[in-house]
Structure 1
Amino acid sequence: MPKTPADPLPVVAAFDVDGTLTTRDCVTPFLLRATGVRLALALARHPLPVLRALARRDRDALKAVACTAFAGMAGSSLDELGARFAQDVEARHLRPDTRARLRRHRELGHTVILASASLDPYLEPLGASLGVDAIVCTRLERAPDGRFTGRLVGPNCRAAEKTRRVEEWLAANGLADAELWAYGASPSDRELLARADRPIWVGREPLEPFV
C-alpha cells in the first residue's frame, strides 16, 4: 500500500565506528594484532608508496599498502581472530553514550547500520553482537580458496565514498526516502553528516539520551 502524506517516514540510523561508537581507533590495533611482523615487512616492500602517502597525508593509500600484510592469510583464522578482537572492543572500548543511542534506535524499530572505514573481519561480528541491520565498511578481498589477497574490495569506506555506499545501500533496500540519522566523530564523517536529515556530531562530551 502506498504511503499517505500522514505516514511517518522510516528512520535509518547510521553509526560511524572508530571514535564514534568506540573510544579509540580499531584499524591499527587489529592490523598489529593480526599481522605482527608481516605489517612491517609489507610497508618495507613498498617504500615509495608509503613515503608518498605519508607526504600527502593520504590515509587511503597508506591503508591499502598496510592491508597487503593480509595476503595469503587463511580466511578462517583471520575471521576467528576478528571475532575475538570484536569481543574485546565490545567489552572494553565502546562509548556508553553512543551504545545507548544505538540500543534506543533499535528499541524504536529504526533500521540501524554501521558505516565505517573499519575492516570486515571484526566489524561483522561486532555488528552482529550489537544487533545492527547492516554493515557498510572497508572489506578485504578473498580469493576463491578463502584466503585473503591483500587487496581491498573497492576504495576505503570513508568520506565521500562512505556517503556513496550508504546511499547505495539505502536505495537497494527501498529506503532512499528514509529519515537518515548519522553519527560521526571525525572530519571523514562530514560528508555523511551533511547528507543526513539528523546529523549528530560525537565529541568528547557524552551525548544526551533521547526517548
Structure 2
Amino acid sequence: MNQFPEFDARPVAFFDFDGTLTTGDSLMPFLKFVVGTPIYYAKLALLSPVLGAYYAKLLRNDIAKQIVLKQYLGGYHIDELFTLGERFSEEVIPTMLRPEGMERLRWHQDQGHECVLVSASMNVYLKSWAKRERFSEVICTALEVGKEGHVSGKFQGKNCHGKEKLKRVMKWQVNCSPIEMYAYGDTSGDIPMLTYVGNGFIFTKKSFRRVV
C-alpha cells in the first residue's frame, strides 16, 4: 500500500484577475452594484482623502482597501454579499472580460492544465465566477466574518496582493507537484509570482510578454 500522497503532476497556470482576465478593476464596480449608484458616489466623495493618499503612495494598499470596504460593506451579512456576488459575476463580470486573457485561460484548459485564480479581489464574487469558468481553486482576499455573520470590512488574513500572492501560491504548491508552472498578471504587484513560476507573462498594451 502506497503511504505517500498522490500529487497532481499536471502543468498549472496561475491567473491574476483584475487587469489580466478583465479590462480593469472589479472591486469598485462590485461596490457600486451592492449599494446602488447614488450611495456609491456619495460615499466615494467621503473617501476622496483616503483614495488621494493611496494614489500618492502615502497609505498602504491594504489599509486603504479596508477603509473603503468598511465604508461600503460594513454591516452587511456575508450571505447577502455572496448572493449579490453571484449576481455580479453573472451580470457584470462578463462585460468586463479581456479577450486576450480569456484566450490564454481557454488554451490552458484545452491542454488539460490545472488553472488557479490568484487575486486581491474579493471572495464574495470571485468564488462563483471561478467555479463557472472551471478553475480548480481560488486564492484571493476574503472578508472577516463576525459571530452573527456580519462583516466589518476587515480582511480574513491578509490582502492577497504582491508578495502575499507568492506566499499563497507556494503554500498551495506544497500539496501539488506540477511538472510545469505558468502565471499571468498585469502589474508590478504580480511580478513576485510571475518570476517564481518560470513561465511568467505580464499584460502590456495589447498582449502578454514573458517576464525574464
Query: TM-score of the superposition, structure 1-length normalised?
Result: 0.82
Could you tell me whether the CA contact under 8 Å between 1:140 and 1:151 is conserved in 2? yes
Distance 1:198 1:41 in 2: 41
2:18 matches 1:18: yes
Superposed displacement of residue 43, structure 1 = 8.8
2:200 matches 1:203: no
Q: 1:134 is aligned with what amino acid?
A: E
Could you tell me whether the CA contact under 8 Å between 1:112 and 1:133 is conserved in 2? yes
| CA 1:144–1:178: 2 relative to 1, 3 Å | farther
Runs of 4+ in structure 1 off by over 3 angstroms are 35-45, 49-55
Q: Match of 2:102?
A: 99
Superposed displacement of residue 50, structure 1 = 6.7
Superposed displacement of residue 133, structure 1 = 0.3
Superposed displacement of residue 53, structure 1 = 4.4
Superposed displacement of residue 120, structure 1 = 0.7
RMSD: 2.8
- Count matched residues: 200
Q: Match of 1:169?
A: 172
Could you tell me whether the CA contact under 8 Å between 1:43 and 1:65 is conserved in 2? no
Query: Where in structure 2 are the equivalents of 1:1-211 lying within 5 Å?
Result: 10-35=10-35, 37=39, 53=54, 55=56, 56-69=58-71, 70-171=73-174, 173-175=175-177, 178-206=179-207
Distance 2:30 2:78 in 1: 15
Structure 2 unmatched ranges of 5 or more:
3-8
Could you tell me whether the CA contact under 8 Å between 1:13 and 1:113 is conserved in 2? yes
Range moving further from structure 2, 107-116 or 51-60: 51-60
C-alpha offsets along residues 87-143 of structure 1, whole Å, 9 cap, x if unaligned? Answer: 134421111222122122122221101101111111111101111000011111112
SS at match of 2:204: coil
Distance 1:202 1:27 in 2: 20
Could you tell me whether the CA contact under 8 Å between 2:202 and 2:208 is conserved in 1? no
Range moving further from structure 2, 143-152 or 78-87: 143-152
Q: Match of 2:5?
A: none
Q: 1:200 is aligned with what amino acid?
A: F
**Percent identity of the aligned residues?**
32
SS at match of 1:149: strand
SS at match of 2:107: helix
Distance 1:141 1:205 in 2: 36
Superposed displacement of residue 165, structure 1 = 0.8
Query: TM-score of the superposition, structure 2-length normalised?
Result: 0.82
Could you tell me whether the CA contact under 8 Å between 1:42 and 1:68 is conserved in 2? no
SS at match of 2:24: coil
Distance 1:169 1:43 in 2: 39
Q: 2:203 is aligned with what amino acid?
A: V
